[in-house]
Structure 1
Amino acid sequence: MKVTPSAQEAITPERIVHAAVKIADAEGLAAVTMRRLGAALDREAMTLYHYTPSKHALLAALIDHILGQIAHESARIAHDDWRDTVRSRCLAARRLMLRHPWAPALITAQDETPAAAWPIYELLIATVTAGGFDNELSHRTVHALGSMLFGFSSELFQPDAQSPEPDPAAMRAMAERFPHLARMASAVVHERDGALSMCDTRAEFIFTLDLVLDGLERARTA
Structure 2
Amino acid sequence: MSEPRAASARVRLSRDKVLQAAVSLADEIGIGELSMRRLAQELEVVPMALYKHVANKDELLDGMVDVIVREIDPPADEPAWRDVVRRRILSARSVLQRHQWARQVLETRTTKTPGVLAYMDSFIGIFLDRGFSVDLTHHVMHAIGSRMWGFTQELFTEPADQPDENAEEVDGAAQQAMLEEMSKRYPNVLRIAMASSHDEGRVVGQGCDDQFEFEFALDLLLNGIERLHAEGWTSARADRT
TM-score range, shorter chain: 0.7 to 0.9
Pairwise CA distance, 1:184? 2.3
Return the alpha-carbon distance in structure 1 between the equivalents of residues 10 and 155 of structure 2: 46
SS at match of 1:153: coil
Pick one of 18, 29, 32 that aligns with 1:30: 32
Kindly indicate whether residue 12 of structure 2 is the aligned counterpart of residue 10 of structure 1.
yes
1:108–1:40 CA distance, 2 compared to 1 (3 A): same
1:171–1:113 CA distance, 2 compared to 1 (3 A): farther
Pairwise CA distance, 1:9? 2.3
1:201 aligns with 210
Kindly indicate whether residue 149 of structure 2 is the aligned counterpart of residue 150 of structure 1.
yes
1:143–1:112 CA distance, 2 compared to 1 (3 A): farther
Return the alpha-carbon distance in structure 2 between the equivalents of residues 209 and 186 of structure 1: 22
TM-score normalised over the length of structure 1: 0.84
Number of matched pairs = 217
Pick one of 162, 175, 178 that aligns with 1:170: 178
Task: Please give the residue correspondences for 1:45-64 in structure 2 after superposition, counting only pairs within 5 Å.
Answer: 45-64=47-66
Q: Would you say the 8 A contact 2:62–2:109 is kept in 1?
A: no
The one-letter amino acid of 1:174's match is: M
Return the alpha-carbon distance in structure 1 between the equivalents of residues 225 and 162 of structure 2: 38
Structure with the greater alpha carbon radius of gyration: 2
Kindly indicate whether residue 28 of structure 2 is the aligned counterpart of residue 20 of structure 1.
no
Pairwise CA distance, 1:145? 1.2
1:194–1:49 CA distance, 2 compared to 1 (3 A): farther
1:129–1:47 CA distance, 2 compared to 1 (3 A): closer
Percent of pairs with identical residues = 33
Return the alpha-carbon distance in structure 2 between the equivalents of residues 157 and 43 of structure 1: 45
Per-residue CA distance 1:107-132 (angstroms, 9 max, x = gap): 11123544422222222222212322
The alignment's C-alpha RMSD in Å is 2.9
Return the alpha-carbon distance in structure 1 between the equivalents of residues 13 and 201 of structure 2: 38
SS at match of 2:74: helix
Pairwise CA distance, 1:214? 0.9
TM-score normalised over the length of structure 2: 0.78
Return the alpha-carbon distance in structure 2 between the equivalents of residues 194 and 122 of structure 1: 34
* Runs of at least 5 residues in structure 2 that lack an aligned partner in the other structure: 164-170, 232-241
Instruction: Please say which of residues 137-146 and 164-173 is displaced more in the overlay.
Output: 164-173
Pick one of 188, 193, 199 that aligns with 2:196: 188
Return the alpha-carbon distance in structure 2 between the equivalents of residues 152 and 37 of structure 1: 27
* Runs of at least 5 residues in structure 1 that lack an aligned partner in the other structure: none
Kindly indicate whether residue 42 of structure 2 is the aligned counterpart of residue 43 of structure 1.
no
Per-residue CA distance 1:57-91 (angstroms, 9 max, x = gap): 11111112222333xx224x233311011111111
1:184–1:133 CA distance, 2 compared to 1 (3 A): same
1:85 aligns with 84
Pairwise CA distance, 1:218? 0.4
1:141 aligns with 140
